[in-house]
Structure 1
């Protein structure tokens, strides 16, 4: 069914389809907020992305950058009431991108559990780490994996300067 719809030009990303179906709902959510300045507009846009990401299971969508939202706000502010909805829908279709999975996060998630088990087994043989035997594997492995993933994410942000996400 999806292939047929794609050939007919009716397909698209789930967000595009959702925007066609729920553009009025998302726009009314934006208009329902009191927007006096850019900060109010930016908070409303981020709230819409939070709603989209919490409503759709699986993959999530990245919010647009601060500059993109600021440019949209400048254009939105001077547009008449009739064109604001079209401008909002055009902005959402153009600026909403599917969140990309990071290779380093994927590799860390795959490699860490076996490495944590090996480290725990090796640590049990060291006399100074006798307490590690008391920690069950069911707690040790997920904790080590989550800590490794958090460390990779924060180190990547620090090294790359990536503040969006």
Structure 2
């Protein structure tokens, strides 16, 4: 049934090599035609918007934004291209080269796995303490995810503070 539906009005289904080219082509159309880019700052903002769109709309893996130096190098190559077709090719090469999936570190994985059982144990223990009686009113489906997210955020902020990296990435 699915095969029949794929042939109706759409032709043959796209292969795995055609799909990235199609996505990159439509991405370039949105990038160049809609933005009308003339300066590096406009190019930089457009690339950041693309990564923001990817990361906010696609579930699962997120993609790391290239460094400013890499974006500058991509802009220079893109700007140096003489024809529109060459500019499109340079942009597609830049995006294919610089799109890297974000990586989770081991501490995030361990905290994400260990926090829910610890949160349940802490909630059960807190229900018996008279001063923490309000914990009984909080449902488990709210308490456990909230505690997990809080633990992950605090671990990430602590790690960044200790490493000295900027908070916004």
- TM-score, normalised by the number of residues in structure 1: 0.78
Whole-Å Cα distance in 2 between the matches of residues 134 and 23 of structure 1? 50
Q: After superposition, where does 1:93-132 map in structure 2 within 5 Å?
A: 93-132=96-135
Whole-Å Cα distance in 2 between the matches of residues 100 and 18 of structure 1? 24
Q: SS in structure 2 opposite 1:110?
A: helix
Point out where structure 2 has 5 or more consecutive residues left out of the alignment: 1-14
- Select the structure with the greater relative contact order (CA < 8 A; seq sep ≥ 6): 1
Residues 71-114 of structure 1 deviation map (CA, whole Å, 9 limit, x = unaligned): 21122223213421121111112111122122211111110011
Match in the other structure for 2:4: none
Whole-Å Cα distance in 2 between the matches of residues 111 and 104 of structure 1? 10
- TM-score, normalised by the number of residues in structure 2: 0.77
Report if aligned partners of 1:156, 1:162 keep a CA contact under 8 Å in 2: no
Paired residues, number: 152
Whole-Å Cα distance in 2 between the matches of residues 53 and 70 of structure 1? 22
Report if aligned partners of 2:66, 2:98 keep a CA contact under 8 Å in 1: yes
- Tell me by how many angstroms 1:128 deviates: 2.1
